[in-house]
A and B are shown apart, each in its own frame.
Chain A
């Protein structure tokens, strides 16, 4: 087997390029190298102008998501060896505007994330004198959804988000669901106002790619379907009791 591999990396400079193009680099193929190590080799040794985001190198910061051979991938935990003999095509995440090379603009996602209020919302003056007791079963109900690292791979994988940029999207809905299920939280009504709109859960057609690509094994698709059931129950309740506060 060859001891090098070709990385075809997307390049785009908004000041000089009309559209992105791919540039090939030959990098060492080492058994312990991730795709991100290959990119860092390019940046350090071959072309310092290559722009990409990364930070922790251990799959927790969620910065280094890119399209690798067309699949949304966390590059710090994906072996280059998996793509031997190559070439490997690395591009910016789909469905987001490209700032430069492999860096995308996440403003849209961050604005949506804030809208669904992904924190513990209390309606009362919540100042417990001691710790809030939560049973293992109560923790289990939302635990998997709390593992989201906001890497936005699910947005790049979601064909609905590609078609309708207004779609709130998998991660934001999964996180809204995570707080709804938390026994300390009282914000379900506030979130329902945002999430049960057409561009919220109802835009989802259960393609399920979000859950397939998630590097933390969160199941956003499940969250959205559970949310649909909650919203449907609330809809029928408000239909039957139009003036009732429920």
Chain B
């Protein structure tokens, strides 16, 4: 990201963009069902065994991997820019990038571990 050469930002922006798509279209569905409709009893909640069987399906694992990891990187990018601009921490850009994208990478590793062992 030094001046005078082409930026490597396309990578994080691409992850941010795809994550934005997942966060806008898919995440709200999960929040609606698992956060509101199931707990309130408005919709009959699937049982533990049923949910476990669903999560163990390869396609579900793939979907959850994509949903969670892209959302992590979306959040990381947004957090980094918000902290650097709104809190005026531009001089700490490298530290912020390390913390935010590092957090997303840790999230990705945990996701893979959970999905592989469930």
Contacts and interface: CB of A to CB of B under 8 A. Distances in A.
Interface in B1-54: 1-11, 13-14, 17
Interface stretch (A30-38, A131-139, A157-165, A179-187): A157-165
Contact of A202 (B2, B4, B7, B17): B7
Interface string A172-205: 0000000000000000000011001111101001
A197 B90 contact: no
A136 B11 CA distance: 35
Contact of B9 (A159, A160, A202): A202
Given A193-B6, A196-B6, A197-B3, A205 B85 contact: yes
Contact of B7 (A159, A163, A196): A196
A119 interface: no
A232 B88 contact: no
For B3, B4, B10, B81, the residue with the greatest tally of chain A CB atoms inside 10 Å of its CB is: B10
A235 B10 contact: yes
A204 to B, nearest CB: 10
A198 B10 contact: no
Contacts of B9: 198, 202
A236 B10 contact: yes
A197 B6 contact: yes
Interface in A199-222: 199-200, 202, 205
Contacts, number: 43
A164 to B, nearest CB: 7
For A192, A202, A231, the residue with the greatest tally of chain B CB atoms inside 10 Å of its CB is: A202
Contacts of A160: 85
Contacts of B17: 232
A166 interface: yes
Interface residues of A, number: 19
Interface residues of B, number: 18
Nearest to A207: B85
Contacts of A166: 3
Contacts of B6: 192-193, 196-197, 235
A232 B3 contact: no
A54 B4 CA distance: 36
Interface string B83-117: 00100101000000000000000000000000000
Given A202-B13, A236-B10, A163 B88 contact: yes
A159 B85 contact: yes
A205 to B, nearest CB: 5
B51 to A, nearest CB: 37
A159 B81 CA distance: 12
A228 interface: yes
B29 to A, nearest CB: 24
Given A166-B3, A198-B3, A236-B14, 17 more contacts: A159-B85, A160-B85, A163-B85, A164-B90, A192-B6, A197-B5, A198-B1, A200-B7, A202-B13, A205-B85, A228-B10, A228-B13, A231-B10, A232-B10, A232-B13, A235-B6, A235-B10
26 contacts: A160-B85, A163-B85, A163-B90, A164-B90, A193-B6, A196-B6, A197-B6, A198-B3, A198-B7, A198-B9, A200-B7, A202-B1, A202-B13, A205-B81, A205-B85, A228-B10, A228-B13, A231-B10, A232-B10, A232-B13, A232-B14, A235-B6, A235-B10, A235-B11, A236-B10, A236-B14
